[in-house]
A and B are shown apart, each in its own frame.
Chain A
């Protein structure tokens, strides 16, 4: 039996310029309330897989860097298991799957350390290409933006990925590819508008 919706989702409102107070209080100088900000570390010692660092910036429609954004990352472990209740079995216990980061208030740069994700199944059993889900909020963003980061060095997997296959304008696929920049390092810039606007998803 399906149960139909009877209530309506609460409407979104912008996170505003002071989102750090609630989501990263230690980062913005509100010390002593929480011992540590939520989502501080993607993994603990002993994590399995290839450790990588991702760096990026978020750019607005004028090409200016967005300095007040908050980004959350949610991804599979190195074997493609999701922390937080994968029906196929538990993920790497040393892997959280979640981090939360703020853009630097001066430079707009943001960065996180993780492991390269494994492949997560699509509902029909095919395997998706390695990816991380990113969720972006900031002043001026009325509804949090979902996107995905894939890896430019995973051509074969990317070519058969069911989500990337939905992008009719093939030139836009490149907006979702993190580019290698040195060993175990990637760059992933997000453009909110313009000719190279990042693909965002309605998930």
Chain B
């Protein structure tokens, strides 16, 4: 809803368009600075996705592509957290789509050429919608690291891709989640497009032993922050809106 316009985006928070160590950006980065304008209804609104969109296994990557009676191979984890905005409020109704490689680091995609095997029981996509307080969760297997052609001996750290719709199209965001303690994180040219160490840290999920399911799966905690809205003068209700 157009109930207040967005704070200007802090572009220093995000990777610049041109990051030569990530070579594909060289021919795809716009050379000119983007032109700013105050958000109008076109940007303050966005598509609304209801829970009726979701099937019962959409948030379960261990089973949503598996043959009956089978499940995906790899370390079982569940990933959970909250979608917040910059004012610290939970964002309800946010559609979160995820995709990832399998436990061996192989994607199910015709352009994928890594020699690690496909898992017949793993598709690699999932989705969910955040609850009233912005909370979300999904089950998956921990993805493997994989090599990629970038000119040298480059490997992606284990990661899960996230696509998030907030309440306005100006909040649209795609990012990646990394795993606490992975020594590959600081070596990756794509990770290193993020300009600050704190920003990289904010994309790193924490092992969450308190929420681990004993004898079943470990938990990782990952919060996402979308752009916040400036509150209108008449909207002075306290926290919890």
Contacts and interface: CB of A to CB of B under 8 A. Distances in A.
A108 interface: no
B30 A60 contact: no
Nearest to A163: B37
A34 B99 CA distance: 13
A21 B35 contact: no
Given A34-B58, A163-B37, A203-B39, A12 B47 contact: no
Contact of A121 (B40, B97, B233): B40
Given A5-B86, A22-B98, A193-B27, A86 B16 contact: no
B34 A146 contact: yes
Nearest to B98: A22
Interface in A5-40: 5-23, 25, 28-30, 32-35, 38-39
Interface stretch (B69-77, B104-112, B206-214): B104-112
A202 interface: yes
Contact of B24 (A11, A123, A139, A144): A139
Report whether over half of chain B's contact residues are helix, strand or loop; otherwise say mixed.
loop
Interface string B151-191: 00000000001010000011011111000000000000011
Interface in B1-48: 1-3, 5, 7-11, 13-17, 19, 22-43, 45-48
A202 B13 contact: no
Q: How large is the interface on B (under 10, 10 to 19, 20 to 34, 35 or more residues)?
A: 35 or more
A197 B17 CA distance: 14
A140 interface: yes
B203 interface: yes
Given A22-B98, A85-B45, A142-B19, A13 B203 contact: yes
Q: How large is the interface on A (under 10, 10 to 19, 20 to 34, 35 or more residues)?
A: 35 or more
Given A8-B86, A133-B42, A13 B174 contact: yes
Contacts of A10: 173, 175, 202-203, 224-226
Contacts of B32: 197, 199-200
A105 B65 CA distance: 24
Contact of A135 (B2, B26, B169): B169
Interface stretch (A48-56, A76-84, A152-160): A76-84
A113 interface: no
Contact of A33 (B41, B58, B109, B228): B58
Contacts of B124: 21-22, 30
Interface string A65-94: 010100010111000001111110000000
B109 A32 contact: no
Nearest to B86: A5
Given A15-B161, A202-B11, 13 more contacts: A7-B88, A13-B190, A21-B124, A30-B125, A33-B126, A39-B47, A66-B28, A83-B48, A96-B47, A142-B15, A163-B37, A197-B31, A202-B9
Interface of B: 1-3, 5, 7-11, 13-17, 19, 22-43, 45-49, 53, 55, 57-58, 64-65, 84-88, 95, 97-99, 107-112, 123-127, 161, 163, 169-170, 172-176, 190-191, 193-196, 198-200, 202-203, 224-228, 230-231, 233, 236
Nearest first, the 7 A-B pairs at minimum CB distance are A22-B99, A140-B24, A142-B15, A140-B28, A98-B47, A5-B86, A85-B1
